[in-house]
Amino acid sequence: MKFLPTSDAERAAMLAAIGASSVEDLFAAVPAEVRAEPDLPPPMSEIEIRRLLGGLSARNANARETSFFLGGGLYHHYVSAIADQMLYRAEWLTSYTPYQPEVSQGNLQSIFEFQTHICLLTGLEVANASLYEGASALVEALLMAERLSKGRAKAVLSAGIHPEYRETVRTYFANLGLEIVEVPLAADGATDRKALVAAVDERTFAVAVQSPNFFGIVEDWKAGSDAAKNAGALSVGVVAEAISMALLSPPGEGGADIACGEAQSLGVPMHHGGPLLGFLACRAEHRRQIPGRLVGQTRDAEGHRAFCLTLSTREQHIRREKATSNICTNEGLMALASNIHCSLLGKKGLREVALQCHAKAEYLKGEIAKVPGYQIPYSSPTFNEFVVEAPEDAAPLLARLAARKILAGIPLSRYDAKEKRRFLVATTEMNVRAEMNSLVAALGGKA
C-alpha cells in the first residue's frame, strides 16, 4: 500500500524490538467476538479512483458550466488563484491546530489577520478564529448572549433569518430550557418592526436579525439593536452573504453587540455546501464569553512579536462541561483562504465586488419584472438576491430550466410549502449580461 512506508524486514525488526511474534499479537486485547473483516471491494489505484470520482462529479450541474443564479446562503463568487493554490502547500494543508506556537507562527499570524479582517468588515472589536459555518455560528452567538444575560431565557429571531439557521437553533435549544420567538416579516419583506418591539421583553437575552435577510432584503440593523437595547438584551446581527458588508452598513455600525454568520463568499468555493466559514465577532467587553479559538499577540523570550492561542480557559479541553462551547476545531484552512482573498481585494476590491453583485441583481430584477406574468413581490431594497413570483409553480419550472443548464433559483417551497410560486434569484460578479438575458428570455418562453 503506497501510504504505508514499512518494509517487511523493518516490520520484523520492529516486532523483535517490541518482543512480539506478529502484529496480530498486539491486538490481543480486542475480543474475538468483535473482530470482522470489512466487506469492501479490493484496493483501487489512483487512476481508478479518479475515474470513479470524475464520473460522480460529471453528474452534477456546476456553476462553471451553467447560467448560475443560486444563493440562499451559498454563493458563486470568484476565488483568487492564490487563495486556492496556497492551500496546497503542505505547511498549511498538513499542519494542525497551533497548540505549539513556536512551530506554528504561520497559522497563528494568519488567524490573527483573519480576525482583523472580520473586525474591519463587521465593524466590531473582537473576532474569533472562525466557526463551522453560519447556522452553528448563530447558535454560538445566541448561547453567548444567553450566558452574558445571566438568567434570561428567550431569544427573539426574525423570520428573515435563513430557515436552515433557524432550524439549527431549534435543534440546539430543544433541551436547554430556552424559548425561541419568531417575528414575522412585514409586507415589504423586512422584519415587522412593531411585532419585533412587541416580542422583546425583560426575559429576552438576544434579538437576532439577518441582513440582507433570506429573501435578499436589506434590513436596518437599528430595528433589532434598538429593540434589544430597550429591553437590556443583546443584539445579534446575522450575515449570510459576507461580501454585502463591503457596501452595506455593517452590524457593528448598526449597534449590534454580536455579529455572526457565513463568510464563504470571501474566498471559499461552494463545495456543495461545505466546508464553509462561520464567523463570530463581538464588542470588546464581551470577549471573555466568545466561543471558539482566539489568537492573541504576545512576545517570545527574546522580546519579539509572536502569536499564540489565548483565553483557552474558556474552552472544552480545560473547562470540560463548563466550557463556552463544545467545539474544538475551527475552519482553519478556509479562514486562511479568506484571509488571502480579503487581503488581495482589500479596501477597494471588496467594495467593487459588492457594487457589481448589487448592480447585476438590480439589472436582472428590472428585466424579470418586465416578463409578462412575473412579479417582484417585495418592495424593499435588496443587495444581490431577490424573490420572484412566477405565474406557475416554481419547483417544476426551475427543474425544467436546470435541464437546460440554467440554474435560475431556489424555490421557496423548499422551506415553506405555501410558497409554491416564489423563488429566490442571486447574482454575483461572476454573472454576465448575456446569461442574465438568456434567463429572462427563458422565463418569457422566448428561448
Partner 1 sequence: MSLEIEEKAASTASAQGDAEPIVEPLVFERSGEGKVGYSLPALDVPETIAIPEALRRKEIAGETQVSEVEVARHFTRLSRLNFSIDQGLYPLGSCTMKHNPRTNEEMARLPGFAASHPLAPEEVLQGALELAWRLERILSELTGLPRVTLQPSAGAHGELAGILMVRKALEKTGKPRSTVLIPDSAHGTNPASAHFAGYKVRELKSNARGTIDLRALEEGMTEDVAAMMLTVPNTLGVFEDQILEIAKIVHAKGGYLYCDGANFNAYVGVAKPGLMGIDVMQMNLHKTFSTPHGGGGPGAGPVAVSETLVPFLPRPTIERRADGTFFLDGDRPDSIGRLRTFLGNFGMFVRALAYIAAYGNRIGEVARGAVLNANYIRAGLTDVYHLKYDTPTMHEVVFSDKKQVEQGVSNMDIAKRLMDYGFHPPTISFPLIVHGALMIEPTETEGKPGLDAFIHAMREIARECKESPEIIRTAPHTTPVKRVDEVGAAKNLVLRWRP
User: Are the C-beta atoms of 308 and 98 separated by less than 8 Å?
Assistant: yes
Interface with partner 1 includes 74 (CB under 8 A)? yes
Residues 6+ apart with CB under 8 A from 190: 160, 213, 217, 219, 220, 223, 380
Give me the sign of the Cα torsion angle 118, 124, 128, 132. negative
Closest distance of CB 55 from partner 1, Å:
7
Choices 149-157, 198-206, 426-434, 438-446; region in contact with partner 1 by CB under 8 A: 426-434
Shortest Cβ 228–partner 1 spacing (Å): 18
Decide if 220 contacts 243 (C-beta within 8 A): no
344 near partner 1, rule: CB under 8 A: yes
| Of 77, 286, 360, 422, the one binding partner 1 by CB under 8 A | 360
Per-residue contact string for residues 299-338; x = within reach of partner 1 by CB under 8 A: xxxxxxxxxxxxxxx-xxxxxxxxx-xxxxxxxxxx-x--
**Candidate list 187, 188, 198, 273; residue touching partner 1; CB under 8 A:** 273
Say how far apart CA 122 and CA 107 lie, in whole Å. Answer: 22
Residues 207-246 that bind partner 1 (CB under 8 A): 218, 220, 245-246
**Cβ 234 to partner 1 shortest distance, Å:** 19
> Among 365, 360, 378, 447, which residue's Cα sits nearest to residue 406?
447
Q: Which of 67, 70, 156, 258 is the binder for partner 1 (CB under 8 A)?
A: 70
**How many residues bind partner 1, per CB under 8 A?**
213
Rg (C-alpha) for the chain, rounded Å, is: 25
Binding residue for partner 1 (CB under 8 A) from 8, 21, 194, 348? 348
**Does 253 interact with partner 1 (rule: CB under 8 A)?**
yes
Nearest distance in Å: CB 159, partner 1? 17
Considering the rule CB under 8 A, would residue 379 count as an interface residue with partner 1? Answer: no
Q: Does 369 bind partner 1 (CB under 8 A)?
A: no
The answer to whether 131 and 280 are in contact (CB under 8 A) is yes
Q: Which residues contact 256 (CB under 8 A, 6 or more apart)?
A: 122, 124, 221, 224, 225, 235, 236, 237
